[in-house]
Structure formats: structure tokens, C-alpha cells
């Protein structure tokens, strides 16, 4: 973290978990503690149908609500899809884009990630753009090149003003949901690399204010060490965000 230049952001990614009734219980457990965090921003990226209850319960707190996806078009005949304007109007502030599960199971390409980033920004949402390599790619030594490509593609035609609203999440695929966390050195190295790529595109000043999260089996035990790295400005947390005690511990680690 480097609070002098950028916000620390801890975001929970609930994925396809929690009905509205279940989300109410979890948010009521989390709220008294995470709403008090002053030194980091907290976000709950909940399933679409949980957005209304999350927004209602978190109204007038510092905790923001996010979605996990949006459609790249503004509106129209796209049965089953949800637009940026709908999310914004429902009270979302953030939206996750290009999560590796969407890239893997729903065929999302870098070009689509870029289109969705523009749609989110145009709708007034802050995109949390996910990048990261598979185990195979890491073992082949491709991590840095791949992540550079993903970052550059995601930011195509994004202006420097828009960049201020963008959050990145470095999520090595081999660490997601596996219990295998990247070491703090690995996380630091790639997050720093992401900032270097952004610096080359937008200059030092713009790059130093971008929040770059780490995601992949972040938990109550490893959060402090990961967050102690200069270029690791928060976390995108899956499994551990579904357990109040664990998520609170991570928020507390970021709020030091």
C-alpha cells in the first residue's frame, strides 16, 4: 500500500453465492465493523439480485456496492443481460470486469474487457479490471508479457481522466479458489509491473494514483504481508469474503 498516492480498496467478490435473504444476514454481520474502516475503502461485489438489499443496508455508510459483470452495450435486445446504467441507477459504484472465470467460462476476450471498461466508465461506474496468468503461462515464463498485453488491451482508448476511475486486480488464475496464494514477492512483482505498463502509457503521475489489488486466496492470515507491499493496494477477495470473521480481519489488516 502507499496511501500517500492512492486509495487502498478491499473488495469482496461473492461470485454466485448468497440469496438476498442470506446476503442480508452477512451484510448485517459485516456492517458494524467494515463501515468504520477509515483508511481503506470497502466494496461488496454481490450477485445482481442482491444489489437492492445491499444498497439499502449500506446506505449512508462508507461501504460501496459493486456488481460482478455488465453487458458491453448500453441497452437493447440482449435477453438476460444487465447494463451499466441499470447498475448505476441501482446504486452500484463498482463493477468487476474480465474476471478469469468470465474469461474462461464465458469466452471474454481482451477486446470485450476493453469494451466493457468503456461501458462502465461511460455509465459512471468504476471498473475493477482483472488480469492474471495461468499456472502453465507462469511456468513458461510468460507472466509479465501476458499481463502487459492484458493491461494495454483493457486500457485501449481510455483517457487519462478516465484512468482515475479504474482499479486493477492482479489475480493469478492458479491462486484463485485454490488456497495457493502468490507469495508477497510474486504479488509485488506483478503489481509493480502493471504500474510500469500504466506509467509508460499515461506517465508517472497518473500511474502512481491507480489502485492495484491482489486477488487469489487472500485471507485473514496472509493479508497483512501482501498489503505491506508498496504496489499492492488492496485485495479482491472471493472465498474469504463470504465469512464475516475472515473478511473483517482482511479489512482490519488494510485499515492499519
Question: Which CB sits closer to ligand PGA, 199 or 225?
Answer: 225
Please name which of 21, 97, 102, 86 lies closest in space to residue 48, comparing C-alpha atoms: 86
Task: Report the nearest approach of ligand PGA to the CB of residue 213 (Å).
Answer: 9
Instruction: Quickly list H helices, the chain.
Output: 20-34, 51-58, 84-90, 100-105, 110-122, 135-139, 143-154, 160-163, 184-202, 204-208, 223-227, 244-254
Q: How far is CA 78 from CA 66, 71, 81, 83, 95, in A?
A: 21, 8, 6, 10, 19
Half-sphere exposure of 162 (CA within 13 A, CB side): 18
Cell of 178: 485454490
Tell me the residue number closest to ligand PGA, measured at CB: 238
Is 171 in the active site? yes
**Largest alpha-carbon pair distance within the chain?**
48
* Nearer to ligand PGA among residue 207 and residue 216 (C-beta): 216
Options 101, 108, 133, 171, the catalytic residue? 171
Kindly list the residues in this chain that would bind ligand PGA in the complex (CB under 6 A).
13, 171, 176-177, 215-218, 236-240
Pick the closer one to ligand PGA by CB: 13 or 207. 13
DSSP 3-state assignment of 236?
strand
Among the options 41, 99, 133, 193, which is catalytic?
Answer: 99
The kind and range of the H/E element at 228 are: none
Residue 207 or 254 having the CB closest to ligand PGA? 254
Q: How far is the CB of 178 from ligand PGA (least distance, A)?
A: 7
Instruction: State in angstroms the smallest separation of the CB of 77 from ligand PGA.
Output: 31
185 counts as catalytic = no
**Which residues are part of the catalytic machinery?**
99, 171
Amino acid at each position: 500500500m502507499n496511501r500517500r498516492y492512492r486509495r487502498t480498496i478491499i473488495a469482496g467478490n461473492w461470485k454466485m453465492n448468497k440469496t438476498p435473504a442470506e446476503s442480508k444476514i452477512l451484510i448485517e454481520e459485516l456492517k458494524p465493523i467494515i463501515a468504520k474502516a477509515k483508511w481503506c475503502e470497502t466494496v461488496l461485489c454481490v450477485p445482481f439480485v442482491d444489489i437492492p438489499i445491499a444498497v439499502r443496508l449500506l446506505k449512508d455508510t462508507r461501504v460501496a456496492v459493486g456488481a460482478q459483470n455488465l453487458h458491453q452495450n448500453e441497452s437493447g435486445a440482449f435477453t438476460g443481460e444487465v447494463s451499466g446504467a441499470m447498475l448505476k441507477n441501482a446504486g452500484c459504484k463498482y463493477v468487476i470486469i474480465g474476471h478469469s472465470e468470465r474469461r474462461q467460462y464465458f469466452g471474454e476476450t481482451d477486446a470485450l474487457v476493453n469494451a466493457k471498461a468503456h461501458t462502465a466508465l461511460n455509465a459512471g461506474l468504476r471498473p475493477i479490471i482483472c488480469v492474471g496468468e495461468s499456472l502453465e503461462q507462469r511456468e513458461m515464463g510468460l507472466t509479465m508479457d501476458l499481463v502487459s498485453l492484458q493491461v494495454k488491451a483493457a486500457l485501449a482508448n481510455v483517457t487519462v481522466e478516465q484512468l482515475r476511475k479504474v482499479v486493477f486486480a492482479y489475480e493469478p488464475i492458479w491462486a484463485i479458489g485454490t488456497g495457493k496464494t502468490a507469495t508477497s514477492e510474486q504479488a509485488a512483482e506483478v503489481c509493480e509491473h502493471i504500474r510500469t505498463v500504466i506509467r509508460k502509457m499515461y506517465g508517472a503521475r497518473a500511474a502512481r494514483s491507480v489502485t492495484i489489488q491482489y486477488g487469489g486466496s487472500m485471507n485473514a492470515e496472509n493479508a497483512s504481508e501482501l498489503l505491506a507491499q508498496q504496489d499492492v493496494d488492496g485485495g479482491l477477495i472471493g472465498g474469504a469474503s463470504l465469512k464475516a470473521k475472515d473478511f473483517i480481519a482482511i479489512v482490519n489488516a488494510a485499515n492499519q
